[in-house]
Amino acid sequence: MAKKTIKNVNVAGKTVLMRVDFNVPLDEQCNITDDRRIRMAMPSIRSVLDRGGKLILMSHLGRPKGRPDAKYSLKPVAVRLGELLDKDVAFAAEAIGRHTRSKAAALADGEVLVLENLRFNPGEKSGDKEFAASLADMADVYCNDAFGTCHRTDASMVAVPEAMGGKPKVVGFLVAKEIQYLSEAIAKPKRPFVAILGGVKVSDKIQVIKKLLGICDKVLIGGAMAYTFSLATGGRVGNSLVEEDKVELAKELIAEGKDKLILPVDTHCGDDFSGDCNKQVVPSGEIPDGWQGLDIGPKTAELYAEVVKNAKTVVWNGPMGVFEIPPFDEGTKAVAQAISESNATSIVGGGDSAAAIEQLGFGDRVSHVSTGGGASLAMLEGRKFEAVELLDDE
């Protein structure tokens, strides 16, 4: 899957159209509350600008349903990017159109233009070829540095590079790094290889659990999906979040996984979904009526930390409990700390696990924190990404 990167292209005097993932969280006043995704794209952005390229950046933000919506505008992102670059950043109020084309044509070497939210146009989600051609026509080079959407077939991911024809089509440094870590973890892991899977739904992670059971030495289960497994073994789950229609599937995974699949041995429960509820720790499968599991228990946290300590490769996707509400963050914290203290190659999937590891201050003590939750799961499943496959091979 080795692809040419932006560093392999002479960009001096050329216009580079770069798909980035600027889908950042905004508060009600449209202030950016976490600029990590912008900062992660900076190496690719600087590579183009520092070498005299003209750069057009395109991204989606939120789910605006194919029409303009002020609360999903990328204008605040353009402002923040200008602060990070310490230079003026131009902004186009539409992704395509006459005014956007003229702004793109007016770019001087080393200048950057941010396009308005791609999803303000219905052609982005539908993969519309005319929409894609309008974007592609503005550039000499296409660069994909948006790993979080690499598993999608949106126009900017597939139809735009197709419309570029014989012009260079490459990956940015972020996508290159994601592919390196995630594909190598699957293809040639150092052993013992341990996967830790949390989150709410078994259904979201069925294929990745199946895939990892085939290649991992241990697969540890946490989060709310553990309660579906608990039901599958005849346990009591009280008011815990479960997928009753996935109990048979959980039974199959338990049978398939045998001693590879490790389930929690105790559960930290509350009688309400809040930090100041009544709390108790019970053995797994013995959650009383009126109570719900909100985290793995201390014995499970200790057990999982011990497994991680001896691992050589660790992949983690999904928190162990409701990590936003102390004290139900203890299980996630214990796993994050064990990963950060291990000597393993450690890969943390995007989404909540990435947020948790950053929030707990361990982000710089793991090998790789992925920027794409859904994309990292899809790659761990072994799925091919059309958005990457059609780019130029190294």
Return the active site residues. 37, 201, 351, 374
| Greatest alpha-carbon span in the chain | 68
Q: How far is CA 65 from CA 23, 24, 119, 124, 135, in A?
A: 15, 17, 7, 10, 20
Which residues is 172 bridged to in the sheet?
none
Distance CA 235, CA 287 (A): 8
Q: Say which residue the tokens 């026509």 belong to.
A: 137
Distance CA 314, CA 357 (A): 14
Count of CB atoms situated within 10 Å of the CB of 39: 12
Q: Say which residue the tokens 């201050």 belong to.
A: 361
Q: Name 279's Cβ contacts closer than 8 Å, sequence gap at least 6.
A: 268, 269, 270, 271, 327
Find out whether 369 and 358 touch, Cβ atoms under 8 Å: yes
Find out whether 35 and 74 touch, Cβ atoms under 8 Å: no
Strand stretches in 153-235, DSSP E: 169-171, 193-197, 218-221
Distance CA 148, CA 352 (A): 13
Distance CA 10, CA 12 (A): 6
Find out whether 196 and 220 touch, Cβ atoms under 8 Å: yes
Distance CA 271, CA 241 (A): 13
Which residues is 19 bridged to in the sheet?
58, 144
